[in-house]
Amino acid sequence: MNYYSKKLLVATGLNDNIPPIKGIDNFYGKSIFHCPYCDGWEVKKKLIGVYAKNKNGFERAVELKTWSKHVTLYTDRRHYLKPQEIDVLKKKNIRVVSEKITSVEGATGKVSNIVFANNKKERCDALFFVNGHEQRRHIARSLCCPMNKKGIVITNRLQQANIHGLYVAGDVSKDVQFVVVVAAEGAKAGESINKEIQKEDFKVR
């Protein structure tokens, strides 16, 4: 089916890659998170875990020391830590646990334990995972929109892409993923779209 429009604003967001740990869906957004700047304050001074199997969790573990003394990095059998990073983690009293994890358990959205393959458990009040995200950029891709190396649509400061009439705003765009940024980008795009349409309507032919 074809749709026609003078302008198109793509604001399709992104999908966080939630690690495939048994039980995680019961806690995501309540006591398991991906963003320390969104959810760190609510779990300050608690037992915080960082889960990083497919990515290097060094930065996230260090960031979370802002909110709690008790941070443990769980690498689930793999790790991508450099020797200098391991030294910093030690100096900052961040434990690194590399045992295989099978599940997380708790009740009513509140995670309480990390469960290992050897049936041991460790207490945990909040878990932050580092597992990347996928942009929902199918529309921009189907329009062959120019993208940067990370596959994110290139825009100017008014959210205009390099295709006339196309705008991109929110998580699908290149900036940080915070509601205030998303709203600001939407506002800039909205104003720009309206101005462009007015100009085009009054253009002397």
Ligand X SMILES: Cc1cc2nc3c(=O)[nH]c(=O)nc-3n(C[C@H](O)[C@H](O)[C@H](O)COP(=O)(O)OP(=O)(O)OC[C@H]3O[C@@H](n4cnc5c(N)ncnc54)[C@H](O)[C@@H]3O)c2cc1C
For ligand X, the binding residues (CB under 6 A) are: 11-13, 16, 29, 33, 35, 38, 136, 139, 170-171, 177-179, 182
Judged by beta carbon, residue 30 or residue 55, the one nearer ligand X is 30
Judged by beta carbon, residue 80 or residue 178, the one nearer ligand X is 178
Q: How far is the CB of 177 from ligand X (least distance, A)?
A: 4
Q: How far is the CB of 50 from ligand X (least distance, A)?
A: 16
Q: How far is the CB of 152 from ligand X (least distance, A)?
A: 13
Rg (CA), the chain: 21
Judged by beta carbon, residue 57 or residue 170, the one nearer ligand X is 170
Helix H or strand E segment including 110: strand 110-116
What is the Cα–Cα distance from 52 to 17, expressed in whole angstroms?
12
Helices (H) and strands (E) in the chain, counts: 5, 12
DSSP H helical segments within the chain, as ranges? 36-39, 58-64, 83-91, 138-142, 179-202
Tokens of 154: 């290139």
Judged by beta carbon, residue 66 or residue 198, the one nearer ligand X is 66
Helix H or strand E segment including 158: none
Neighbouring C-beta atoms of residue 156, cutoff 10 Å? 11
What is the Cα–Cα distance from 96 to 83, expressed in whole angstroms?
13
Q: How many CA atoms lie within 13 A of 205 on its CB side?
A: 2
Judged by beta carbon, residue 35 or residue 115, the one nearer ligand X is 35
Residues in the chain: 205
Q: How far is the CB of 13 from ligand X (least distance, A)?
A: 2
Q: How far is the CB of 88 from ligand X (least distance, A)?
A: 27
For the chain, give the longest Cα–Cα distance: 76
Q: How far is the CB of 30 from ligand X (least distance, A)?
A: 9
Judged by beta carbon, residue 15 or residue 162, the one nearer ligand X is 15
